[in-house]
Amino acid sequence: MNFQKFIFTVLFIGSSTLAFAQKEDNIPDKIKKDVEFRVVAEIGFLAVLSHKVQFGQNGTYFDYKKEGGQNVLFPVGRFSLELDIKERNTIILLYQPLTIQTQVLLNEDLIVDDLVFPANTSVDLLYNFPFYRISYLRELLPNKPKFDLAVGGSVQLRNATITFEATDGSRFRTNRDLGVVPALKVRARSILSDLVYLELEADGIYAPISYLNGSDNEVKGAILDASLRAGLKVTDNVNSFFNVRYLGGGAVGTSEGEQGPGDGYVKNWLHFLTVSAGFVYRLN
């Protein structure tokens, strides 16, 4: 968990430092509008840096990258709607699909919730973890024409389905989870010229207390969604951008009252990197 907290802290401090390091140039003042609506979309690829999961106290701590076929690139997309209100307030609705399907031949026995998938057998793996997020940001520097710094919060709905299935259909285990997770949010933008800007954005939380993790059980977890974006103004209403994003987090603990073949214990940590290109369309 120290890795996620370290990245989040660096991003926040870095964005605050940039706010006071900008030099004045001939960039027009921010256009003041009561309401502005934007559509944002991006598409690219996802690389797994590390991804491990375990179901059941006696289960295998399975390495998806080394043993589960996640050592290649996967397509990824991301879509959001943004609404600025009275210049300083922003509401964001985000949808992030995230589905990874692989098929592998096991080198060793795999135990999932007390079920053994024998070595030298083929297994189909599904890691489906799309999420939905609503965020609010409050601009802290409304009088800075070349720099924005906003802070706020997010509420994320996780909707996970993790499946292990023998290719011949003889064995099957699935874990499903639906829950609400709060997070802190920060966004900073530096306008480098009339055409080019840099943007830093992060959502994250570490929840050592179960109810902060959106649950009433002993499962603890964390999320961190942090990105660095280089943007280019194409027209007055359209910007294009190139984006690099770290997406990480997970959970560990035992769910009380779990109904199923296992004991409810889960350990799931992931570290993903995405590279994408996209556009922002501003509606007048």
- Residue 177: the pLDDT is 84
CB 261 within 8 A of CB 272: no
What are 164's strand-pairing partners?
Answer: 125, 173
CB 150 within 8 A of CB 90: yes
CATH architecture, domain defined by 2-239+255-283: Beta Barrel (2.40)
Neighbours of 277 (CB within 10 A): 11
Instruction: For 166, list phi and psi in degrees, rounded to 5.
Output: -60, 135
Q: 209: which 2 tokens? A: 């207390």
- Residue 4: the pLDDT is 45
Q: Sign of the CA dihedral 249, 252, 256, 262?
A: positive
Helices (H) and strands (E) in the chain, counts: 2, 15
Most confident stretch, 31-35, 184-188, 219-223:
184-188
Alpha helices, DSSP H, located in the chain: 2-19, 64-67
- Which has the minimum average pLDDT: 23-37, 61-75, 224-238? 23-37
- Residue 64: the pLDDT is 97
- Distance from C-alpha of 245 to C-alpha of 119, rounded to nearest angstrom: 35
Asked whether residue 32 carries a pLDDT value surpassing 70, the answer given is: no
CB 89 within 8 A of CB 138: yes
Q: Which pLDDT band, with edges at 50, 70 and 90, does 29 fall under? A: very low
Tell me the domain boundaries of the chain: 2-239+255-283
Q: Does residue 250 come out as left (phi exceeding 0), alpha (psi in the -120 to 50 range) or beta?
A: left
Neighbours of 70 (CB within 10 A): 23
Q: Which residue has the tokens 């080394």?
A: 66
Asked whether residue 209 carries a pLDDT value surpassing 70, the answer given is: no
In order of 2, 50, 130, 163, 166, the CA distances from 96 in angstroms are: 25, 19, 6, 20, 28
- Residue 108: the pLDDT is 95
Asked whether residue 17 carries a pLDDT value surpassing 70, the answer given is: no
CB 50 within 8 A of CB 65: yes
Asked whether residue 2 carries a pLDDT value surpassing 90, the answer given is: no
- Residue 11: the pLDDT is 46
- Higher-pLDDT residue of 283 and 9 is 283
Per-residue pLDDT reduced to its tens digit, 247-275: 999 888 887 655 668 788 999 999 999 99
- Residue 25: the pLDDT is 38
The secondary structure of 254-267 as a DSSP string is E-TT--SSS-SEEE
Mean pLDDT of 10-33: 44
Residues in the chain: 284
Q: How much of the chain, in percent, has pLDDT values that exceed 90? A: 69
Neighbours of 193 (CB within 10 A): 12
What are 273's strand-pairing partners?
Answer: 47, 246
Mean pLDDT of 81-98: 94
Query: Considering the entire predicted model, what is its pTM?
Result: 0.83
- Higher-pLDDT residue of 110 and 284 is 110
